[in-house]
């Protein structure tokens, strides 16, 4: 119930339009029930005319019951004391007007619900996506992308039906049942009580089925998420799949997942499909009971007119449709409720990195960035950095070296607050990073990594990513400085060329130069360089290095080095091992010391002494 109430909050901005839909539903239900009662004057006139040989007859010859009195008051003047055909014509005209108004109400109801459905879907999807963007890196490190995508797409679609179409249908069905029952009570309260006897078994069936479906639908949605994740990962890593000849292996894995999905669907359908025939049987029993008892009231007690009974029977049959739909309601809403719980589970994830209330503006970088006893853990008891003390001055090149998994990338990630320290603090010109405005802090940094991120968009949009007011001239200037303008001009549409997903149409060196152009356009005072040239061939490396040299000019640089040839002329080299800074100094100072840096250097360059790739400072 709490989940459903939470879903209904998304209707609040659209309550005015929803009220219009409810009014239309009310008119529809009232007119729909009333249209059946018009069968009574039609049948009374028709039967009486047949008995009198077609002569003019009094209206409602079948009796003086409450329903007859009501109809006499509403439409009696139209059919009283006239020829049979004239009376029938007037009844048919009234029926036409009623059906016209009823269908206008139906259109208004359905159109307004469709509008609300679109708005709610948009609002919910926007909220979830915006929340995802604000979650920290730890969330994405522990969560499969396919599961996230499934919740933003499929789960929101499931909620959309629940919060609009299903809710509207439920309200409409309740209104129809209320009006139908009201008219049926006017016809015959005894017959109505017979019909109501069959509601308790229906309600008991609902309650039992709801519990079964709750578990089943969750299993199906989890299986769909696993399928989405597998497809996303396989397509993203298709080069590795092909290179490893793993097509058959991946096919077997996928078949195992689809089998699990199939089993979950079949188990859920076993209970979901049981409900319609069960409710149908209860409904059929109710109809047969009404037929028998109604015939008794007409033929034996003579307390119910034949026309009234026939109309009662038609209206009670009509009543079964909304009752049956309400009976199916547990099966109908369970997928939406399960989808809502999955979506809300994502919305309830708290961002690990938050901007504090009253955060301070960032005036720039003028004095120093200092790590003061910094420690960091991804999880309790899993330290990645320990007691790190470090000072970075404006204009310095600081290189981080060490074995894989030592904590180099984590240390760099703490600077733009991709993670928050779990011990100590980091200050910018004496102010704790956690006290600064997050967006302004991150604007200080430009990041170029070995794995370049490009989007399925134009070259211009990729270079100007995140900069709304970037001019075409500024984009071209950044591309020239990054040594990328030449190959961009050779593309079919130049800067308007749409790159493939992740820039698959470009070589590794071209992707890197696009990324460097992006960083140059942002013109950040601090650059984090995660070995942008380590995976390139010699010609691409030369071109990228020229762009890197342009990027490094007059900036503070933190180099995460995978190859020691890139750090020989750094102002400060930090050797990190097991989360601690165990050595620091210049290249020559560290070589003179018989430590880890010297051993790493000798291991990489035993046969040669490569030229430095960073410019002299």
Q: The domain that contains 128 carries what CATH number? A: 1.20.1560.10
> What is the per-residue pLDDT for 613?
39
Assigned domain for 352 exists: no
What CATH number should be reported for the domain holding residue 404?
A: 3.40.50.300
289 with 431, same domain?
Answer: no
Assigned domain for 296 exists: yes
Assigned domain for 356 exists: no
- Closest by Cα among 370, 22, 333, 334 to 174: 22
519 with 530, same domain?
Answer: no
In angstroms, the CA 454 to CA 213 distance is 43
65 with 27, same domain?
Answer: yes
Kind plus residue range of the DSSP H or E element containing 383:
strand 383-392
- Closest by Cα among 221, 488, 244 to 334: 221
Measured from the Cβ of residue 364, the count of other Cβ atoms closer than 10 Å reads 11
φ/ψ of 95, rounded to 5, equals: -60, -40
435 with 560, same domain?
Answer: yes
205 with 139, same domain?
Answer: yes
415 with 306, same domain?
Answer: no
323 with 433, same domain?
Answer: no
- Closest by Cα among 417, 365, 370, 425 to 392: 370
> What is the per-residue pLDDT for 138?
74
335 with 367, same domain?
Answer: no
Q: State which of 305, 322, 347 marks the end of a domain.
A: 347
Q: 8 in the Ramachandran plot: left (φ > 0), alpha (ψ -120 to 50) or beta?
A: alpha
Domain holding 515, by residue range, is: 456-523
DSSP state of 494: G
- Closest by Cα among 461, 460, 458, 426 to 445: 426
Assigned domain for 188 exists: yes
Q: State which of 324, 347, 370 marks the end of a domain.
A: 347
Assigned domain for 534 exists: yes
Radius of gyration of the chain (CA): 37
528 with 512, same domain?
Answer: no
Assigned domain for 21 exists: yes
Q: Which residues sit opposite 298 in a β-bridge? A: none
Assigned domain for 492 exists: yes
The rounded average pLDDT for each run of 10 residues, N- to C-terminus, in the chain (617 residues) is 76 88 89 76 59 45 51 54 59 79 89 85 86 80 76 78 72 84 78 76 67 73 78 73 75 85 81 70 75 76 71 74 70 74 84 86 90 87 88 90 86 90 92 92 84 82 85 89 86 85 72 84 85 58 64 79 70 91 89 86 60 42
597 with 470, same domain?
Answer: no
> What is the per-residue pLDDT for 54?
46
Q: How many domains does the chain have?
A: 3
Q: Is 65 helix (H, G, I), strand (E, B) or coil?
A: coil
> What is the per-residue pLDDT for 14?
87
Measured from the Cβ of residue 447, the count of other Cβ atoms closer than 10 Å reads 22
150 with 135, same domain?
Answer: yes
Assigned domain for 260 exists: yes
485 with 540, same domain?
Answer: no
In angstroms, the CA 79 to CA 160 distance is 48
In angstroms, the CA 181 to CA 169 distance is 18
Kind plus residue range of the DSSP H or E element containing 266:
helix 247-272
């Amino acid at each position: 119930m709490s989940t459903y109430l939470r879903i209904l909050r998304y209707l609040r901005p659209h309550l005015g339009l929803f009220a219009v839909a409810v009014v239309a539903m009310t008119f529809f239900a009232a007119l729909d029930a009333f249209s059946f009662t018009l069968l009574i004057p039609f049948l009374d006139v028709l039967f009486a005319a047949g008995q009198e040989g077609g002569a003019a007859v009094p209206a409602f010859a079948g009796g003086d019951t409450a329903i007859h009195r009501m109809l006499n008051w509403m439409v009696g003047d139209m059919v009283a004391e006239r020829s049979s055909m004239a009376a029938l014509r007037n009844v048919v005209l009234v029926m036409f007007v009623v059906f016209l108004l009823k269908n206008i109400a139906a259109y208004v109801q359905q159109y307004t619900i469709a509008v609300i459905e679109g708005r709610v879907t948009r609002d919910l999807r926007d909220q979830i996506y915006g929340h995802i963007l604000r979650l920290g890196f730890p969330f994405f490190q522990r969560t499969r992308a396919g599961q996230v995508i499934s919740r933003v797409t499929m789960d929101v679609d499931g909620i959309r039906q629940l919060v609009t179409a299903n809710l509207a249908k439920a309200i409409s069905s309740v209104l129809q049942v209320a009006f139908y029952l009201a008219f049926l009570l006017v016809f015959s309260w005894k017959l109505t009580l017979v019909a109501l006897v069959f509601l308790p078994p229906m309600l008991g069936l609902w309650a039992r089925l709801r519990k079964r479906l709750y578990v089943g639908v969750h299993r199906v949605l989890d299986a769909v998420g696993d399928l989405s994740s597998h497809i996303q990962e396989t397509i993203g890593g298709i080069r590795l799949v092909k290179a490893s000849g793993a097509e058959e292996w991946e096919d077997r894995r996928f078949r195992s997942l689809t089998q699990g999905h199939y089993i979950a669907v079949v188990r859920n359908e076993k209970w979901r499909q049981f409900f319609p025939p069960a409710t149908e049987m209860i409904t059929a029993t109710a109809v047969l009971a009404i037929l028998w008892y109604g015939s008794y009231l007409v033929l034996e007690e003579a307390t119910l007119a034949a026309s009234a009974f026939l109309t009662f029977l038609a209206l009670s049959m009509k009543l079964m449709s909304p009752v049956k739909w309400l009976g199916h309601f547990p099966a109908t809403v369970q997928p939406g409720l399960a989808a809502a719980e999955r979506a809300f589970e994502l919305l309830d994830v708290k961002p690990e990195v938050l901007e504090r209330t009253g955060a301070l503006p960032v005036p720039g970088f003028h004095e120093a960035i200092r790590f003061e006893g910094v420690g960091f853990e991804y999880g309790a008891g899993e330290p990645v950095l320990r007691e790190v003390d470090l000072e970075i001055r404006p204009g310095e090149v600081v290189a981080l070296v060490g074995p894989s998994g030592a904590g180099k990338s984590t240390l760099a990630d703490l600077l733009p607050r991709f993670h928050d320290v779990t011990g100590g603090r980091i200050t910018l010109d004496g102010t704790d990073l956690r006290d600064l405005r997050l967006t302004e802090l991150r604007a200080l940094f430009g990041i170029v990594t070995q794995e370049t991120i490009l989007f399925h968009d134009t070259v211009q949009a990729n270079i100007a990513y995140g900069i709304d007011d970037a001019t075409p001239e500024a984009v071209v200037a950044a591309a020239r400085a990054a040594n990328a303008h030449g190959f961009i001009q050779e593309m079919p549409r130049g800067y308007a060329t749409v790159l493939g997903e992740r820039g698959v149409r470009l070589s590794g060196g071209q992707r890197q130069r696009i990324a460097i152009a992006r960083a140059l356009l942002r013109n950040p005072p601090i650059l984090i360089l995660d070995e942008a040239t380590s995976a390139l061939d010699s010609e691409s490396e030369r071109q990228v290095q020229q762009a890197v040299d342009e990027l490094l000019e007059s900036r503070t640089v933190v180099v995460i080095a995978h190859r020691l040839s890139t750090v020989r002329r750094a102002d400060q080299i930090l050797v990190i091992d097991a989360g601690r800074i165990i050595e620091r100094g210049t290249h020559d100072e560290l070589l003179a010391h018989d430590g880890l840096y010297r051993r790493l250097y000798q291991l990489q360059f035993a046969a040669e002494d490569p030229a430095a790739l960073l410019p002299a400072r």
